[in-house]
Structure 1
Amino acid sequence: MGFLEVLSALFGVTYFLAWSISFYPQSMLNFRRKSTSGTTVDFPLINSLGFAAYLVSNTAFYYSPLIRAQYAARYKGLTPTVQFNDITFAAHGFLLSIITTSQYLYPRAWGFTPSMGNKPSRFILGIFVGCVVGVAAILFIVLGSPERDSTHDAVSSWVWLDAIYAISYVKLIITLIKYTPQVIVNYRNRSTKGWSILQILLDFSGGSLSIAQQSIDSYMQRDWSGITGNPVKFALGNVSMCYDLIFMTQHYVLYRGADGKSEEGDSLVGADEERRID
């Protein structure tokens, strides 16, 4: 095994650990505080759907002979850059997201004080339903395609690879918007109290290493379609890092040391209710 292979494997293990550990700080902080105030269920709820989709797509890219053959036909004989650690990361992320979501939806079971952020916003519910309906529509199209099991027609026809891409794009869409509600909540509260900055620092480190690993893998294949062929993994690192920078700016610069509003206003739902009362 050459130097680049070793470096890629090292980056893969390290980003797996960083991203995996990043799921724990928020749930642990909630448990210590016995409250989810200052945060919203929107993030862990939509994250659960995102990692479910990521798990399904990664498993298909890694294990399915048909999906791998159709991928090779579409991308000049190359194989997907998905690795086993991507699958274990997705499974772990899904499990931890479900656990964290339960702290919001069932606070009394955890001994928590209920907060306004325990109710999902209409924005996140709309994204959730839209993703499910979109994937169902693509599956319907693929099922109606006579070439769905073909490898020779994978370039020009609807095949099962397109269905897997549709599922993987759910993760991409969710990555683009999942942090937005919490950014807004922090802005309205003028504080990051209740939101774990440690998870953000770990996420930023993991994103950097994920991009580095994928770049090394594509370089070794002498073809950058290793990135264009797996846009979800590439976007995961880039988009998450942009949000991480926003959260770090809020925590360390804009609202440094702030305790937030005297009255709880910790959710998009709560803000909507306050406007209706006014």
Structure 2
Amino acid sequence: MALLEILSAIFGWVYFLCWSASFYPQPVLNWGRASTSGTTVDFPFLNVIGFAAYFASNAAFYYSPTIRAQYAARHNDLTPTVAFNDIVFALHGLILSVITASQYLFAKSLWGFPPSVGARPSRLALGIGNGCVVGVLATVLIVATAGAADIDHPARAWCALDIVYAVGYVKLVVTLVKYVPQMLANWRNKSTRGWSIWQILLDFSGGILSIAQQGIDSWLQGDWSGITGNPVKFALGNASMVYDVIFMVQHYVLYPGGKGDYDDDDDSRGHQEERQRLMDEERRIA
């Protein structure tokens, strides 16, 4: 058992490192190309919403005595399988997602990038964001009304735990759809240029290890409600890996000539020249 506990801890921190590192290739690629061309803002925009919700739900599971007690009442007196590295990961992901989104939303004013197609959230992304807010507010309303009559019995009544679940499901919904706009953009462009494959490879590795850690934790507890009680974490790894495979097929099989490597990209050099021109212009004005 001690070996499994050590293995679980190792898997937890390695997947944390893989998933955390996956946030860097795209903003670094955008900076190196001095452009966000070939990509859409929908992915980082939805990531901001998703990781804000994920951080909030993980923090509640980890720190709130009330939420942990209500969870135990529903799941055989067990504790949530959320670990501290889950909270650190969620907060880190939120910060990096905000930075990446700013490269699109404030491309010229903040980063000196020339404007590009897809620099504003689509109606789909805005609709998903608004829908998530409405869903959480509806859950709050249900808990405030239906749960009030049986507040002392969280195992069978609506309670604060359901609000935490609703916030957590926002992350799940976002994960299910956030890749679609970029996948379609790659298909329309017949290229993955501008879209970093390294973030996909790191995300895929992290997904495998995340599921493995949760499986080990549930085995050690002798109860698989560690997975059924935290379906968001389990589903996230599976959903992300499906999209990761699709992007790897696009990158390595369907469009191998457009891999987003800006070192030899004439279009990227043009963007770098444009950034230099903008910087020279700003100096003259100052």
Instruction: Give TM-score scaled by structure 2 length.
Output: 0.88
- Structure 1: how far apart are the matches of 2:190 and 2:32? 22
The residue type equivalent to 1:24 in the other structure is: Y
- Structure 1: how far apart are the matches of 2:25 and 2:18? 12
Look up the match of 2:203. Answer: 203
Look up the match of 1:101. Answer: 101
How far did residue 247 of structure 1 move? 0.3
How far did residue 15 of structure 1 move? 0.2
**Is the CA contact (8 Å cut-off) linking 1:147 and 1:159 kept in structure 2?**
no
- Structure 1: how far apart are the matches of 2:15 and 2:233? 12
| Change in CA separation of 1:78 and 1:259 when aligned onto 2, cut-off 3 Å | closer
- Structure 1: how far apart are the matches of 2:259 and 2:81? 44
**Is the CA contact (8 Å cut-off) linking 1:36 and 1:104 kept in structure 2?**
yes
- Structure 1: how far apart are the matches of 2:26 and 2:50? 18
- Structure 2: how far apart are the matches of 1:119 and 1:58? 29
**Is the CA contact (8 Å cut-off) linking 1:149 and 1:160 kept in structure 2?**
no
Look up the match of 1:146. Answer: 148
Write out per-residue CA displacement over residues 156-179 of structure 1, whole angstroms, 9 at most, x where no aligned residue: 111000000000000011111110
How far did residue 236 of structure 1 move? 1.0
Write out per-residue CA displacement over residues 171-191 of structure 1, whole angstroms, 9 at most, x where no aligned residue: 011111110100000000000
Within 5 A, what are the aligned runs for 1:211-226?
211-226=211-226
How far did residue 143 of structure 1 move? 2.0
Look up the match of 2:37. Answer: 37
1:111 aligns with 2:88: no
Larger radius of gyration: 2
The residue type equivalent to 1:114 in the other structure is: P
SS for the counterpart of 1:116 is coil
Write out per-residue CA displacement over residues 221-266 of structure 1, whole angstroms, 9 at most, x where no aligned residue: 1111100100111011100000000000000000001389xx9xxx
**Is the CA contact (8 Å cut-off) linking 1:26 and 1:196 kept in structure 2?**
yes
SS for the counterpart of 1:213 is helix
Look up the match of 2:82. Answer: 82
CA RMSD of aligned residues (A): 1.4
Look up the match of 2:137. Answer: 136
**Is the CA contact (8 Å cut-off) linking 2:207 and 2:238 kept in structure 1?**
yes
- Count of matched residue pairs: 259
**Is the CA contact (8 Å cut-off) linking 2:107 and 2:114 kept in structure 1?**
yes
- Structure 1: how far apart are the matches of 2:60 and 2:259? 46
SS for the counterpart of 1:117 is coil
Look up the match of 1:70. Answer: 70
Look up the match of 2:121. Answer: 120
The residue type equivalent to 1:117 in the other structure is: G
| Change in CA separation of 1:259 and 1:100 when aligned onto 2, cut-off 3 Å | closer
- Structure 2: how far apart are the matches of 1:47 and 1:136? 20
- Structure 2: how far apart are the matches of 1:71 and 1:225? 11
| Change in CA separation of 1:44 and 1:148 when aligned onto 2, cut-off 3 Å | farther
Look up the match of 1:17. Answer: 17
**Is the CA contact (8 Å cut-off) linking 1:41 and 1:119 kept in structure 2?**
yes
- Structure 2: how far apart are the matches of 1:226 and 1:175? 21
How far did residue 149 of structure 1 move? 5.2
The residue type equivalent to 1:121 in the other structure is: S
Look up the match of 1:243. Answer: 243
Write out per-residue CA displacement over residues 120-168 of structure 1, whole angstroms, 9 at most, x where no aligned residue: 1111111010001110111112122325753xx1121110000000000
The residue type equivalent to 1:176 in the other structure is: L
- Structure 1: how far apart are the matches of 2:167 and 2:214? 20
Q: Identity over aligned residues, as a percent? A: 65
Instruction: Give TM-score scaled by structure 1 length.
Output: 0.91
Look up the match of 1:275. Answer: none
**Unaligned ranges ≥5, structure 2:** 261-266, 268-286
Look up the match of 1:272. Answer: none
- Structure 1: how far apart are the matches of 2:217 and 2:259? 45
- Structure 1: how far apart are the matches of 2:143 and 2:259? 52
The residue type equivalent to 2:255 in the other structure is: Y
How far did residue 113 of structure 1 move? 1.1
